[in-house]
Amino acid sequence: MTDLLYSDVEESLRSSVRGALGRVTDSARVAALYDDPDADTSAVWSAVAGDLGLAGLLVPGEWGGVGAGAREVAVVLEELGRTVAPVPFLESAVIATTALLELESDVVASLADGGQRGVLVLPWSARAGAWTATEGGAVTPVAGALGADLFLVPTLVGGTVQLVLHESATVDPITSLDMSRPLAAVTPTGEGRVLAKGDAAVAAVDAALAAGAALLASEQVGLAQWCLETTVEYAKTRVQFARPIGSFQAIKHRLADLYLEVAQAQAAARYAADTLATGDADAPVAQAVAQSYCSDVAVHAAEEALQLHGGIGMTWEHAIHLYLKRAKSDQLALGTPAAHRADLAGLVDLPQH
Amino acid sequence: MTDVRAEVAALLARFDLETVDPVEFLGARFDAGLAWVHFPVGRGGLDRPRDEQQVVEQLLAEAGAPAPDLGRNSIGIGMAAPTLIAFGTPEQQDRYLRPLFTCEEIWCQLFSEPGAGSDLAGVATKAVLDGDTWIVNGQKVWTSGAQNAQRAILVARTDPTVVKHAGLSYFVVDMADPGVDVRPLRQITGEAEFNEVFLNDVRVPDADRVGAVGAGWRVATTTLNNERVAIGSGAEREAGQIGIVTERWRNDPSVRSSAEHDRLMSWWVETEVTRLAGERLRQQLAVGQPGPESSAMKLAFAQQAQQISGFALELDPDAGLQYDDWTMVRTVSASFLGRGPGFRYLRAKGNSIEGGTSEIMRNVVSERVLGLPADHRPDKGVPFNEVPR
């Protein structure tokens, strides 16, 4: 059976990432992005991609990467979710990187050291097997495009899908529900270089989206854990009717249910990461299960956090709204839960009709 | 270092599985240390990590070897055994574990009472020491399989003058004692799976006390944590109620509809993540005892069993309107899945009550896993015999 726990190396990685994130981001800086989308977040990328070298986690050593795997990436994403960090790690170091690795393209070396950022130019709601290559014009809404250097554009040319690398594009920011992962309308410019055509191009895009979906689950787990832990602490200290509110069953039973959801989400995300890392034949099922489940758990965790904090939870001042906005956006990203359940039905032979 | 695979192979090599007597095989399995590999050598185990038990179970199942009848002896195998290993004397372990595993001795649980269900520490059944024998009087209820059992685990009050948790002790009871009166308790399924058990001057030797006098609550907690693991477990994908529904869906297109499809897939996902979380918990528990986290698994299991068994009726309304048999029978081998869809729906209602209600599970998770403060308890710090009731 798959290892669903965390190794000592993974825990050590977690501790490094948590320490680094604590120095470069916090909820006040994330909240500021809603009023000033141009606020400088480059320190977060530098810390994660440059100082810690995490942009190359998935990339083999010969291309300048670390040669780790999806399990380690998942741990990084848990920490990024826990802080709603404004950093396009999933977009560049997972999704764009996976597409290039799938094509064995040496372009991946320029992403591995964090010096450049890549983006797969598809709507952020796309999922493996359910996306459309552009025939020209703007692609929208794309995550990870603002500040990107390399644009991987699935393009339809004469009825055939090509994956075209553009080094420039017109990127128009979009006011986003989650401004910590800002979206944009992207219109590639210049000729571009064809990296792959036909089945190879489609396979590379599908693999990238599948990896993204599998590992997004870990970001959602980290986010949900923050919501649960923060709310448990609040329930222990907030006093009403001369008692901590956490002593009321009306409160504690909701938190027990949320604990169960988060524990299950964690197991599902670990399974998705491990099967992705090992190329297990069950990986597509694991991804669909993880996305169907973890997406809703993250949203529910943020919604419960808000409600159980009472009035303060509804304010701009408290960090919960940042988590709710990320959680709801994450639920829609890379395939909705219902879409992943539809995929799952095909994988486990439970047809709709 | 012992390799459990080699031990299993050596055991299997000694028997012709076509003809072997199950009791003889299970006895040999116990003696080979393959009953519970994490138990001590000589007591059914090999002092191996707990997770190796799964390897043993899988190899034996693949070979088609006789297995202990969990339907009849889940209390013995799942609860009494781990409790005896944790708290029993060497004599108790030598006397009870082997016949328990071979199912020569079936066990039942004398815990709940009419006045002490969720508030289990409030049991009123008394045990009074007379020389080296305890005299037990009281009434127990919801006792599965008591009519088939040779042994029982019992929680009784040995000191009513202290707070409720401190005045309990834990015993092994011989069900053949003339003071034990077992009466069937008919349930909503029509069957009597449970019983009420009246204890009238039942004599229990002090040698059959498990743990110290007054330590019964701590011992019982071990039993209950194991019960929750036993109830909440299911190692295979599509095990239990979901498997019945998916098999029907695959084989019978007439039950399929778009409206029900996403519900089906949602339940598929729910049961799968519970399976994964249970597996993750087992990996964490590779060494050590089940903790309060298992309560969350039991909570999930109960919700799913109830919802999915209800969903199964809706999939086939004409069949769902019927019931297989209301005849009162006393259950021999208990199974949540053993009969028709109507039985499964009704029986599943017990899943959120037996082994601790879902509300108590939420208390356990919130207080003992999350560390939330305890609810207001008027009996806190009050001797048991001064609590109004």
Residue pair A253/A264 in contact by the 8 Å Cβ criterion: no
Mean pLDDT of A51-59: 95
Mutation for A interface: B51, B266, B273, B287, most A CBs within 10 A: B273
Mean pLDDT of B350-358: 92
Return mean pLDDT, chain A. Answer: 97
User: Which chain B residues have a beta carbon less than 8 Å from that of A257?
Assistant: 299, 362
User: Which chain A residues have a beta carbon less than 8 Å from that of B253?
Assistant: 353
User: Which chain B residues have a beta carbon less than 8 Å from that of A224?
Assistant: none
Domain boundary residue among B194, B214, B234? B214
Nearest to B261 among A256, A271, A352 (CB): A352
Flag the least confident range among A98-102, A235-239, A339-343, B190-194: B190-194
For chains A and B, count residue pairs whose Cβ atoms are closer than 8 Å.
133
Domain boundary residue among B67, B93, B121? B67
Q: Which residues contact B198 (CB under 8 A, 6 or more apart)?
A: B139, B140, B180, B181, B183
User: Residue B234: pLDDT band by 50, 70, 90 thresholds?
Assistant: low
> What is the predicted pLDDT for the residue at B287?
55
Q: Are residues B143 and B266 in the same domain?
A: no
In terms of residues, how long is chain A? Answer: 353
Residues of B with CB under 8 A from a CB of A: 54, 246, 249-250, 253, 256, 258, 261-262, 264-266, 268-270, 272-274, 276-277, 279-280, 283-284, 293, 296, 299-300, 359, 361-363, 365-367, 369-376
* pLDDT greater than 80 at residue B122: yes
Catalytic-role residue among B227, B236, B260, B354:
B227
Q: How far apart are CA B107 and CA B89, in angstroms?
A: 18
> What is the predicted pLDDT for the residue at B235?
72
CATH number at residue B121: 2.40.110.10
Mean pLDDT of B140-166: 96
Mean pLDDT of B193-206: 97
Evaluate whether residue B46 is within a structural domain. yes
- Domain ranges, residue B177: 107-214
Contact: B362, A351; criterion CB under 8 Å: no
Domain boundary residue among B214, B247, B263? B214
Task: Compute the nearest-CA separation of A270 from chain B (Å).
Answer: 9
Mutation for A interface: B53, B256, B272, B363, most A CBs within 10 A: B272
Return mean pLDDT, chain B. Answer: 92
- Angle between the A320-332 and A27-35 helix axes, to the nearest 10 degrees? 70
Q: The whole model's pTM is what?
A: 0.92
Contact: B256, A293; criterion CB under 8 Å: no
Q: Are residues B231 and B347 in the same domain?
A: yes
Contact: A232, B371; criterion CB under 8 Å: yes
Query: pLDDT exceeding 70 applies to what percent of chain B?
Result: 96
Mean pLDDT of B348-359: 93
What would you report as the CA-atom Rg of chain A, rounded to the nearest whole angstrom? Answer: 20
Tens digit of pLDDT for each residue in B302-314?
Answer: 999 999 999 999 9
Contact: A292, B371; criterion CB under 8 Å: no
User: Residue A2: pLDDT band by 50, 70, 90 thresholds?
Assistant: confident
Structural domains in chain B (count): 3
How far is C-alpha A105 from the geometric centre of its chain's CA atoms? 23
Which of helix, strand or coil describes residue B221?
helix
Q: Are residues B197 and B298 in the same domain?
A: no
Domain ranges of chain A: 202-347
Q: How far apart are CA B249 and CA A293, in angstroms?
A: 22
Which DSSP category does B41 fall into? B
Residue pair A15/B290 in contact by the 8 Å Cβ criterion: no
- Helix residue ranges, H only, A69-197: 70-82, 89, 97-102, 108-112
Q: How far apart are CA B22 and CA A352, in angstroms?
A: 45
Q: Are residues B165 and B277 in the same domain?
A: no
> What is the predicted pLDDT for the residue at B338?
82
Evaluate whether residue B146 is within a structural domain. yes
Cβ neighbour number for residue B207 with a 10 Å cutoff = 12
Residue pair A208/A120 in contact by the 8 Å Cβ criterion: yes
User: Residue B232: pLDDT band by 50, 70, 90 thresholds?
Assistant: very low
- Angle between the B258-284 and A283-308 helix axes, to the nearest 10 degrees? 90
> What is the predicted pLDDT for the residue at A77?
98
Evaluate whether residue B75 is within a structural domain. no
Chain A residue whose CA is closest to B375: A247
Tens digit of pLDDT for each residue in B16-54?
Answer: 999 999 999 999 999 999 999 999 999 999 999 887 888
User: Residue B2: pLDDT band by 50, 70, 90 thresholds?
Assistant: low
Contact: A246, B373; criterion CB under 8 Å: yes
Task: Compute the nearest-CA separation of B245 from chain A (Å).
Answer: 11
* pLDDT greater than 50 at residue A284: yes
* pLDDT greater than 60 at residue B230: no
Q: Are residues B365 and B223 in the same domain?
A: yes
Q: Are residues B282 and B347 in the same domain?
A: yes
Evaluate whether residue B383 is within a structural domain. no
CATH number at residue B226: 1.20.140.10
Evaluate whether residue B384 is within a structural domain. no
* pLDDT greater than 80 at residue B288: no
* pLDDT greater than 90 at residue B331: no
Contact: B276, A4; criterion CB under 8 Å: yes
Determine phi and psi for B240, rounding to 5 degrees.
Answer: 75, -145
Evaluate whether residue B374 is within a structural domain. no
* pLDDT greater than 70 at residue B208: yes
Contact: B273, A236; criterion CB under 8 Å: no
Query: pLDDT exceeding 90 applies to what percent of chain B?
Result: 82
* pLDDT greater than 50 at residue B231: no
Contact: A271, B276; criterion CB under 8 Å: yes
Contact: B283, A3; criterion CB under 8 Å: yes
Q: Which residue has the higher pLDDT, A283 or B78?
A: A283
Token pair in block for residue A187: 């219109």
> What is the predicted pLDDT for the residue at B240?
92
Active site residue B227: yes
Evaluate whether residue B96 is within a structural domain. no
Evaluate whether residue B89 is within a structural domain. no
| Fold adopted by A202-347 | Butyryl-CoA Dehydrogenase, subunit A; domain 3 (1.20.140)
